[in-house]
Amino acid sequence: MRIYEVADYQEMSRCAANLISAQVLLNPRSVLGLATGSTPVGIYSQLIEWYRKGDLSFAEVQTVNLDEYHGLAPDHPQSYRNFMQQNLFDHIDILPQQTHVPNGLAKDAAKECARYEALIASLGGIDLQLLGLGHNGHIGFNEPAAAFAKETHLVELTESTIEANTRFFESRESMPRQAFTMGIKTILGAKKILLAVSGKEKAEAVYRSFAGPVEPGVPCSILQFHPDVTLVGDAPALSKLKAAGVRICRK
């Protein structure tokens, strides 16, 4: 595992985007696993800038997203499909049919989960998976639990996640209570994993994920078992790891 400390969110975004662009330049037909939320916005903005400068093309890239709210149409303002269109896809040369997000309106959840797993397999798996980190250690919508969820599944959102995401909706009542998410086994199947974190409020989750035991109560801790993980974080987010003496490189 490689851990890089950067100065701030802007530098974290640039560093993570650089690793993604290197993946695409080395393999223009890469399959990228993508994340949503506040953390990757700066990363996507940087990738768009490099695309507009002519430094990068996504014409042959395939993407698969981590998750999607159950019950939201693709064009709903708070759907993750809409998030990806607004923050990345509409601004680069990727082909629409090569961008994949779980179908939030699927009536048969089990069938949709099986379809998404089969899709990822048909693409040859994920070459690089981008992840953010929740305050409780969740990745995707894999919440703390008694056991690690394996493959793509429909999850009941925890109260802490609902509380954290309600600000994006008109009211608490209008926020979905379920979401489709890749499972831990699916995420670990990626050849490379890139975890981006920023802010002091993530310091405890980072510490528990990489300086504590591997346990389903801290879903991100499972990444300790992956052979190729890169963590890019700003100084506040990595503060507890540094205090514990974990080896960190300055980027």
Which sequence spans correspond to the domains of the chain? 9-199
Q: Phi and psi for 131 in degrees, rounded to 5?
A: -130, 150
Q: Are 60 and 24 a contacting pair, CB within 8 Å?
A: no
What does the pLDDT look like over 20-72, one tens digit per residue? Answer: 999 999 999 999 999 999 999 999 999 999 999 999 999 999 999 999 999 99
Q: Judge whether 153 counts as a catalytic residue.
A: no
Quote the strand ranges of the chain, DSSP E. Answer: 2-6, 31-34, 62-65, 67-69, 99-100, 128-131, 153-156, 178-181, 192-197, 229-234, 249-250
pTM: 0.95
Catalytic residue among 138, 142, 153, 234, which?
138
Q: Judge whether 136 counts as a catalytic residue.
A: yes
What does the pLDDT look like over 169-186, one tens digit per residue? Answer: 888 888 899 999 999 999
Q: Judge whether 60 counts as a catalytic residue.
A: no
Catalytic residue among 65, 87, 103, 136, which?
136
| Fold observed for domain 9-199 | Rossmann fold (3.40.50)
pLDDT for position 161: 80
Q: Judge whether 55 counts as a catalytic residue.
A: no
> What is the share, in percent, of the chain residues with pLDDT greater than 70?
100
pLDDT for position 241: 94
